[in-house]
Amino acid sequence: MFEARLTQGALLKRLLDSVKELVTDANFDCSETGISLQAMDNSHVALVSLSLRAEGFNPYRCDRGFSLGVNLNSLNKIMKCAGNEDVITLKADDSSADSLCLLFENSSNERVSEYELKLMDIDQEHLSIPETDYDATVMMPSAEFQRICRDLMVVSESVTIDVSKDEIKFTAEGELGTGNVKLKPTSTIDKPEESITIELGQTVSLQFSLKYLSNFTRGTPLSDQVMLCLSDNMPLLVEYKMDIGYIRYYLAPKVGD
């Protein structure tokens, strides 16, 4: 038996919103420790990894590990039937899970709705992602990162990210001209959500597709801050941390000529 009840149901809506543009089908891997998801986009150059700890649910019950194969478009349609303040419970039979039960309860418990989502077999590649010491780790307001991606898309479909000890610079070059945004580290003790920090082992300069990066910024509502981790010749890591876990996006850099 699998059961996971999330008091803050709106979080599940936001999470789905942050994944569904990148991936259409995905396995939710359920275990004693929580729920995780790893999936790549069609071209296999971007990867999303989601982790939700069991402690974030009340209650959480999972007797043995199993996977829920879900079409995210279908799940999204059903999730639209949940109110923003609803408590959401996910239920499935772990021995023969061919459907996922979703229970939406309003705060006064007067209205309960129940939906069953048909599950599917999804045969997906699963990559092992090692813990990495990145050359550069940047924390910045998530809304700022979203704005930079949106603004620079006016100029080009690619952005070069340069990180040095005292600034992170985003540069775009296109047919109409060029644009860049530079941010310096700031620490605002009274407003930590607005601070920018740079941890640097060595300077990095990497180019990425803005289409993917702006897709990743769908995670913005999940966290005030975003973490960007860069190393030469490695995929960029974009992480949004939540109380209950995290969502991590990886993107292969543009290489060659």
Partner 1 sequence: TRSQIRMSRYFSNN
Residue number, 103 or 228, with CB nearest to partner 1: 228
For residue 126, state whether it binds partner 1 (rule: CB under 8 A).
Answer: yes
> What is the spatial distance between Cα 47 and Cα 60, in angstroms, rounded to a whole number?
27
Binding-residue total with partner 1 (CB under 8 A): 25
What Cα–Cα distance (Å) separates residue 156 from each residue in 10, 61, 119, 159? Answer: 34, 47, 40, 7
Exposed, middle or buried: residue 122 (CB in 10 Å: 0-12, 13-18, 19+)? middle
Kindly state the smallest distance separating residue 48's Cβ from partner 1, in Å. Answer: 11
Residue number, 47 or 52, with CB nearest to partner 1: 47
The DSSP bridge pattern shows strands 25-31 and 66-71 to be: antiparallel
For residue 155, state whether it binds partner 1 (rule: CB under 8 A).
Answer: no
Residue number, 44 or 118, with CB nearest to partner 1: 44
Mark the segment that binds partner 1 (CB under 8 A) among 145-153, 197-205, 215-223, 248-256: 248-256
For residue 122, state whether it binds partner 1 (rule: CB under 8 A).
Answer: no
DSSP letter string over 86-117? -EEEEEE-SSS-SEEEEEEE-TTS--EEEEEE
Residue number, 67 or 209, with CB nearest to partner 1: 209
* DSSP code at position 252: P
Answer for which of 40, 100, 119, 161 binds partner 1 (CB under 8 A) is 40
For residue 253, state whether it binds partner 1 (rule: CB under 8 A).
Answer: yes
Kindly state the smallest distance separating residue 255's Cβ from partner 1, in Å. Answer: 6
Q: What are phi and psi of 150, to 5 degrees?
A: -65, -45
CB neighbours of 147 closer than 8 A, spacing ≥ 6?
none
For residue 209, state whether it binds partner 1 (rule: CB under 8 A).
Answer: yes
Kindly state the smallest distance separating residue 216's Cβ from partner 1, in Å. Answer: 14
For residue 254, state whether it binds partner 1 (rule: CB under 8 A).
Answer: yes
| Secondary structure of residue 11 in the 3-state scheme | helix
> What is the spatial distance between Cα 125 and Cα 192, in angstroms, rounded to a whole number?
38
Mark the segment that binds partner 1 (CB under 8 A) among 28-36, 43-51, 66-74, 167-175: 43-51
What Cα–Cα distance (Å) separates residue 100 from each residue in 21, 140, 147, 193? Answer: 21, 37, 37, 36
Kindly state the smallest distance separating residue 5's Cβ from partner 1, in Å. Answer: 30
Kindly state the smallest distance separating residue 208's Cβ from partner 1, in Å. Answer: 8
Chain residues in the site for partner 1 (CB under 8 A): 40, 43-47, 125-130, 158, 207, 209, 234-235, 250-257
